[in-house]
Amino acid sequence: MLPWRCDATEPERGGVVDFDGRVVIVTGAARGLGREYASFFATEGASVVVADIAADAATATAADIALTTKGRLIAVGVDVADPTSTVALAERTVAELGRVDVLVNNAGIWGDLERMSLIDTPDAYWDTVMGVNVKGALLCTQAVAPTMRRQRSGRIINISSMGAYMPSGVYGVSKLALNQLTYALASELGPDGITVNAVAPGAIDNEATQRQVPPAGMEKMIAGTFMKRAGTASDVFGMIRYLASDAAAWVTGQTFLVNGGFNTRL
C-alpha cells in the first residue's frame, strides 16, 4: 500500500511530481488529450492504463508511449457507458497492476457542440452524450471505488469543459452535470480518503478543436482570454498533476477552470 503523504515533497525536476509506484487509469486515452495525459503520467513514472472504446488504437498508443517513457503501460478496451465493461476495466487493472491510485475520467463526446440546438436534439443523441459524458464517469468511479476504499486513498479527476458555462447544447448540459456529479461523489467518498475533482479546460489547441471549431471561432475564444493564446495539453495536465498528487490531499469537490482567464468574460 502506498498511502498519500501530507509531507510529500517534489523532486528537483522543475517541480514535477514523481508518480513512481502509482497506478493511473485514463479513459478515452487512445488519442487526443487523453493520450497526452497518459503519456505525461508515464513520463513521471506511473503505471498507466490506456483505456478506450477503440481497443486496437489503445493498444497502439500504449506501445508508442512505452517506447519513450519509464512507466509500465497496458491497454484495455472499455465502453464507459457499459457497467460490465467498466467493472472489467477495474478488475484487470487490479489483477495486473495491484491497485488503482488515480482515475482520470477523460472519455467524452464532443459531437456537434453548438451546431445542434437542444430543441432539435434527438432522444438517441441526448442519451449517447449523457451516457458517455456523465454516466460514463459515474460507472468508472463506481468500478474503482471498492479498490480505493480498501486502500483508504485515491484520486478521481473528471474532465469537464468551459462549455458547461456556455450555450453549447447537450454537450454543455452534460459537462455541467458532470461538475455536480463531481461534488456529490466527493461528499460520499471523502470519508474513505478519496478525493474527487473536475478540471474544465478552455480553448485547447489540439486535433479535436481544429476539427470541431472553425478558425474564426478559435480566434474569438483566444481573444477572450487574458493570456491571448490557446491552451495546450501541458497547461491542462498541470492541474491534473496537482490534483493527482499528495499536495492536493485536502482538495475535493472542486471544479477548476483552466482556460487562460476566459471565464472572467462569461
Q: Give domain status of residue 158, yes or no.
A: yes
> pLDDT category, 238, cuts 50, 70, 90?
very high
pLDDT reading at 13 higher than 50: no
26 in Cβ contact with 38 (< 8 Å): yes
CA dihedral 206, 208, 211, 214 (to 10 degrees): -60
Q: Give domain status of residue 246, yes or no.
A: yes
Q: What is the domain count for the chain?
A: 1
Structural domain range at position 72: 23-265
Q: Give domain status of residue 5, yes or no.
A: no
Q: Give domain status of residue 8, yes or no.
A: no
CATH of the domain at 52: 3.40.50.720
> pLDDT category, 266, cuts 50, 70, 90?
low
pLDDT for 70-120, tens place per residue?
Answer: 889 999 999 999 999 999 999 999 999 999 999 999 999 976 555 678 998
Task: Find residue 257's DSSP bridge partners.
Answer: 200
Task: Find residue 51's DSSP bridge partners.
Answer: 27, 76
Active site residues: 171
Q: Give domain status of residue 12, yes or no.
A: no
Strands 102-105 and 23-27: parallel
Q: Give domain status of residue 88, yes or no.
A: yes
pLDDT reading at 228 higher than 80: yes
230 in Cβ contact with 203 (< 8 Å): yes
Q: Give domain status of residue 104, yes or no.
A: yes
Give the mean model confidence (pLDDT) for residues 116-137: 93
pLDDT of residue 113: 55
Q: Give domain status of residue 14, yes or no.
A: no
Bigger pLDDT: 170 or 210? Answer: 170
